[in-house]
């Protein structure tokens, strides 16, 4: 998948919905100034990415997840936004396969 498709998958994972006016964060999970966005920024902004990391960690700790996935996820988390983004995308892909 490309970045746009990955961002869409992340947005849906976070409960965002696509509307006529853009992406809508009705639960305000990103805690940004507004809750409607023209462009998804998960690959560019730590402020967008960190709530996703927290949700992934919450899911891992509350559900029985594959230990290999846990290792890969934690191994992928780093000070690099790109590596963290890739780890989140892989986690969500694997999580979606189990649902």
Over the chain (99 residues), the average pLDDT of each successive run of 10 is: 94 91 78 75 92 88 62 65 90 87
Task: State residue 16 phi and psi, 5-degree precision.
Answer: -80, 155
Residue 10 contacts residue 88 (beta carbons within 8 Å): yes
Both tokens of 55, joined, read 């949700």
Query: pTM score, two decimals?
Result: 0.81
pLDDT of residue 89: 94
Number of domains in the chain: 1
Euclidean distance between CA atoms 39 and 29, whole angstroms? 16
pLDDT of residue 70: 57
pLDDT of residue 10: 96
Domain residue limits at 65: 3-98
pLDDT of residue 8: 95
pLDDT of residue 12: 94
Beta carbons within 8 Å of 96's beta carbon, 6+ residues apart: 9, 13
């Amino acid at each position: 998948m490309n970045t746009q498709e990955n961002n869409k998958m992340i947005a849906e994972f976070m409960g965002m919905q696509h509307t006529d006016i853009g992406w809508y964060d009705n639960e305000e999970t990103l805690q940004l100034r507004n809750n409607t966005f023209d462009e998804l920024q998960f690959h560019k902004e730590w402020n967008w990415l960190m709530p996703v990391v927290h949700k992934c960690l919450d899911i891992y700790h509350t559900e029985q997840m594959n230990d290999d996935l846990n290792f890969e996820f934690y191994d992928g988390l780093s000070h690099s936004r790109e590596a963290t983004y890739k780890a989140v995308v892989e986690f969500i892909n694997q999580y979606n396969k189990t649902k």
